[in-house]
């Protein structure tokens, strides 16, 4: 009986040692089981676009970033799904991509947010990055650039260029991102031209060339002689050129589509961010974050100026850009008034990120209303 107990004790001791060893080997496991960056093994990365790659705007800019990623990291294998609506179909696409071995998925439109959150819960070992959103989880991060800084600079250009003191703005969706851009642009316009007004027309679409162009035409009919946009195609710029007027593009350098009209464009440079993020996932150093990069990170900038932009305007923009790049000043620094003339930001105060990310009011100088929002 004593011998049996002895063997039983030895057997249980061995089992305990083995179980501790197994637990020890598995401790601290990262969310992703992607291969290490220097291993040479392939990693699958997916991109979901709200429009076609050929939109020459938002989706095109992200695809340029994807191509940069592939060039810089040959062991990255990418999948692209274009023209995915911001609805239930997004959930299906995200689920399929996650189930097919993609270790990183970039969802590049605001309306994908809730679907990213839902699908990410089902695939905890996949890293999801959502552009322009605000919801995070252990395996979900958000990313964007401080586009309002470039918007402000482009507003300086528009304010200097207008002769009628009426500037049109073709706007997509009434969300904080778009409202923030309109406000920053208007602050730039008003700084150099206090008599100017920025007139806003909503399209309620990210990508619809015909609708965007019609909106621009309505603004041109209202005597606007510079057209700005928060849309994914160069259609508003083409409408401006057809009328012999000027424009401020967005997302990419749109001058090749309307060379006689485009003064400049706020442009995106997503490539370095994509490389940095994928490397971090592969090296198991990635952690969830809400990245909102400034111009000094080179994620957002201005395209080259058109030949119609004066040297004085270029010098002014360069001076203002320098203060932004050095962190000496930022756009939403008071005093700032709303449309009714009430001070919303006191002199010397600077809006917080939370306040800027929740913009639901227009600054003084904007002619237009925000649907379903209290002014």
**Domain containing residue 337:** 161-265+303-367
Residues 307 and 293 in one domain: no
Residues 291 and 241 in one domain: no
pLDDT at 18 > cutoff 60 = no
Residues 102 and 244 in one domain: no
Residues 280 and 307 in one domain: no
Average pLDDT value for residue range 301-326:
98
- For tokens 């959502």, name the residue: 130
Distances (CA, A) of 187 to 164, 184, 192, 198: 18, 5, 9, 10
- For tokens 């990170």, name the residue: 297
Q: In this structure, is residue 64 part of a structural domain?
A: yes
With 0-12 / 13-18 / 19 or more C-beta atoms within 10 angstroms meaning exposed / middle / buried, residue 206 is buried
Residues 307 and 191 in one domain: yes
pLDDT at 254 > cutoff 50 = yes
Q: How many domains does the chain have?
A: 2
Q: How confident is the model at residue 36 (pLDDT cuts 50, 70, 90)?
A: low
Convert the pLDDT of each residue in 146-163 to its tens digit: 999 999 999 999 999 999
Convert the pLDDT of each residue in 268-310 to its tens digit: 999 999 999 999 999 999 999 999 999 999 999 999 999 999 9
Residues 221 and 94 in one domain: no
Residues 204 and 279 in one domain: no
Convert the pLDDT of each residue in 171-215 to its tens digit: 999 999 999 999 999 999 999 999 999 999 999 999 999 999 999
Check residue 329 and give its pLDDT: 97
Residues 94 and 232 in one domain: no
Distances (CA, A) of 126 to 45, 62, 84, 89, 122: 10, 20, 20, 19, 9
pTM for the full predicted model? 0.88
Q: In this structure, is residue 346 part of a structural domain?
A: yes
Q: In this structure, is residue 9 part of a structural domain?
A: no
The domain spanning residue 107 has which CATH number? Answer: 3.40.50.2300
Which of 297, 314, 348 terminates a domain? The answer is: 297
Give the DSSP H/E element, type plus range, for residue 336.
strand 336-337
- Contacts of range 324-328, beta carbons closer than 8 Å, 24 or more positions apart: 324/149, 324/152, 324/153, 324/294, 324/295, 324/296, 325/295, 325/296, 326/296, 327/294, 327/296
Q: In this structure, is residue 20 part of a structural domain?
A: no
What's the chain's average pLDDT?
Answer: 91
Residues 330 and 279 in one domain: no
Q: Cα separation of 364 and 360, whole Å? A: 13
pLDDT at 24 > cutoff 50 = no
Residues 130 and 237 in one domain: no
Q: In this structure, is residue 374 part of a structural domain?
A: no
Check residue 41 and give its pLDDT: 85
Q: In this structure, is residue 22 part of a structural domain?
A: no
Asked if residue 97 lies in contact with residue 38, where contact means CB atoms within 8 angstroms, the answer is no
Q: How confident is the model at residue 220 (pLDDT cuts 50, 70, 90)?
A: very high
Residues 205 and 291 in one domain: no
Q: Cα separation of 128 and 52, whole Å? A: 21
Residues 61 and 119 in one domain: yes
Q: How confident is the model at residue 35 (pLDDT cuts 50, 70, 90)?
A: low
With 0-12 / 13-18 / 19 or more C-beta atoms within 10 angstroms meaning exposed / middle / buried, residue 349 is middle
Percent of the chain with pLDDT over 70: 89
Average pLDDT value for residue range 353-369:
97
- For tokens 């958000």, name the residue: 142
Q: In this structure, is residue 26 part of a structural domain?
A: no
Q: In this structure, is residue 180 part of a structural domain?
A: yes
Q: Cα separation of 374 and 364, whole Å? A: 15
Percent of the chain with pLDDT over 90: 88
């Amino acid at each position: 009986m004593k011998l049996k107990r002895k063997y039983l004790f030895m057997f249980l001791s061995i089992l305990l040692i083995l179980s501790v060893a197994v637990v020890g080997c598995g401790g601290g496991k990262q969310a992703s089981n992607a291969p290490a960056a220097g291993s040479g093994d392939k990693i699958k990365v997916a991109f979901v676009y709200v429009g076609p790659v050929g939109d020459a705007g938002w989706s095109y800019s992200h695809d340029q970033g994807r191509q940069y990623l592939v060039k810089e990291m040959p062991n990255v294998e990418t999948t692209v799904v274009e023209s995915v609506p911001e609805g239930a179909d997004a959930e299906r696409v995200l689920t399929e991509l996650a189930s097919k071995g993609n270790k990183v998925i970039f969802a590049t439109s605001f309306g994908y947010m809730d679907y990213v959150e839902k699908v990410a819960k089902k695939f905890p070992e996949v890293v999801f990055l959502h552009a322009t959103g605000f919801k995070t989880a252990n395996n979900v991060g958000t990313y964007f650039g401080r586009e309002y800084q470039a918007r402000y600079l482009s507003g300086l250009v528009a304010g200097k260029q207008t002769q009628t003191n009426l500037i049109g703005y073709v706007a997509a969706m009434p969300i904080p991102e778009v409202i923030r851009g309109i406000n920053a642009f208007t602050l730039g316009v008003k700084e150099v031209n206090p008599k100017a007004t920025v007139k806003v027309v909503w399209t309620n679409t990210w990508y619809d060339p015909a609708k965007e162009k019609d909106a621009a035409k309505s603004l041109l009919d209202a005597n606007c002689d510079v057209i700005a946009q928060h849309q994914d195609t160069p259609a508003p710029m083409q409408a401006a050129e057809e009328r012999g007027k000027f424009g401020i593009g967005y997302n990419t350098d749109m001058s090749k589509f309307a060379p006689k009209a485009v003064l400049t464009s706020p442009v995106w440079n997503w490539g370095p961010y994509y490389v940095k993020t994928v490397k971090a996932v592969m090296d198991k150093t990635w952690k969830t974050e809400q990245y909102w990069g400034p111009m000094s990170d080179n994620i957002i900038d201005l395209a080259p100026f058109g030949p119609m932009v004066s040297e004085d305007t270029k010098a002014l923009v360069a001076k203002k850009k320098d203060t932004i790049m050095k962190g000496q000043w930022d756009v939403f620094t008071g005093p700032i008034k709303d449309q009714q003339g009430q001070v919303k930001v006191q002199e010397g105060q600077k809006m917080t990120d939370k306040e800027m990310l929740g913009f639901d009011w227009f600054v003084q100088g904007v002619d237009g209303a925000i649907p379903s929002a209290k002014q």
